[in-house]
Amino acid sequence: MRRTTIHDVARAAGVSVATVSKAINGRDGVAAATLAHVLSVVDELGYESSLVATSMRRHRTNVIGVLVAEFEPFALQLLSGVSTALQGTRYDVLAYAGSISAGEHRGWERRSLSRLGGTLIDGAIIVTPTSTPPETSVPIVAIDPHAGPDGPATVSVINLDGARAATEHLVSLGHRRIAHLRGRTDLESAQQREKGYRSALEDAGIRFDPTLVADGGYRTADSTAGAHALLELPEPPTAVFAANDLSAIEMIRVAAEHGLRVPDDLSVIGFDDIPNAAAHTPQLTTVRQPLPEMGAAAVRVLLTMLDGGEYEHVRMPAELVVRESTAPPRA
């Protein structure tokens, strides 16, 4: 079954494809009678122009791309905000997970951008890119940007303050041996969170112990080893600040494997406040990022850029949310 093309419409209406194109796009130079007739045929045949073909000729599609490495909860929440913010505008959203078939994780955003940009999408919102995107054919804004030299537009939370708040919360509960399961170290967010952790320790007069920092990479699977390592330390921590909720949840799972209960035997705090954080047992204490709002902010910046406006760096506050996974250390 072949799709209906503009040629089919033209043939059925007894006019040329050029006329059909004009009729559909409201260009003038079409007689009222012809217009009505063509549109009725379009309707009858259920014709819709191919996004691909249109995109190729006209260099504008009215679709915004959200480029992600994979559809994990963080990206999904952002997407939800982006989608809501785009209601009532002339733009549709298209979300693309470009690293799935590629296998290769690094550089996925460049690949996606090259494949979609300039055609198909008018602008892109890139989530957690693995590098600072190069000058591209379309405007882009990065959410949770790479740590390299500042690319144009970014939206992120004030990670340093968020991490400080998390660590201070643990300190205030009486913990002294506080570990950090860190994030994807190529991202600015992970670097800032580690920095916030260290600075809060310092302020509390706690000596920084490098053996208490393990890699989590922001992903469940990448956190397992680090979580084990932390708990198998000769002198294990009584609390851990995980760089995001996914690794916090994995931390808790691994702790259970070691016979440790949270928060009784170990306090765990995360970062992000994905929907799963509050749904988890125990409910996760975390630092909330206003994900939908960040998505909306990215849309705002991007639309401004598409209208020829200036780019911007948006920073939003992160907020400590105390729930059940943190408690004072055992006596």
CA dihedral 215, 220, 224, 226 (to 10 degrees): 10
Q: Rounded distance, CA 271 to CA 267, Å?
A: 14
Strands, DSSP E only, in 226-311?
A: 239-242, 267-269, 286-288
The strands making up 178-182's β-sheet, listed across from edge to edge, are 213-215, 178-182, 239-242, 267-269
Task: Examine residue 279 and tell whether it contacts DNA (CB under 7 A).
Answer: no
Between 6 and 165, CB nearer to DNA: 6
Specify which residues 289 forms β-bridges with. Answer: none
User: Up-side HSE of residue 124: CA atoms within 13 Å toward CB?
Assistant: 31
Contacting DNA (CB under 7 A), which of 11, 39, 45, 49? 49
User: Residue 309: which of a copy of itself, DNA, none does it interact with, CB under 5 to 8 A by kind?
Assistant: none
Between 38 and 255, CB nearer to DNA: 38
Between 38 and 242, CB nearer to DNA: 38
Helices then strands, counting H and E runs in the chain, come out as: 12, 12
Q: Rounded distance, CA 164 to CA 157, Å?
A: 13
Between 179 and 305, CB nearer to a copy of itself: 305
Task: Please give the residues from 82 up to 141 whose contact with DNA meets the rule CB under 7 A.
Answer: 118-119
Contacting DNA (CB under 7 A), which of 1, 12, 31, 315? 31
User: Residue 133: which of a copy of itself, DNA, none does it interact with, CB under 5 to 8 A by kind?
Assistant: none
Q: Residue written as tokens 């144009």?
A: 152
User: Residue 18: which of a copy of itself, DNA, none does it interact with, CB under 5 to 8 A by kind?
Assistant: DNA
For residue 54, the minimal CB distance to DNA (Å) is 4
Between 221 and 331, CB nearer to a copy of itself: 221
Contacting DNA (CB under 7 A), which of 1, 29, 232, 310? 29
User: Residue 287: which of DNA, a copy of itself, none does it interact with, CB under 5 to 8 A by kind?
Assistant: none
User: Up-side HSE of residue 301: CA atoms within 13 Å toward CB?
Assistant: 24
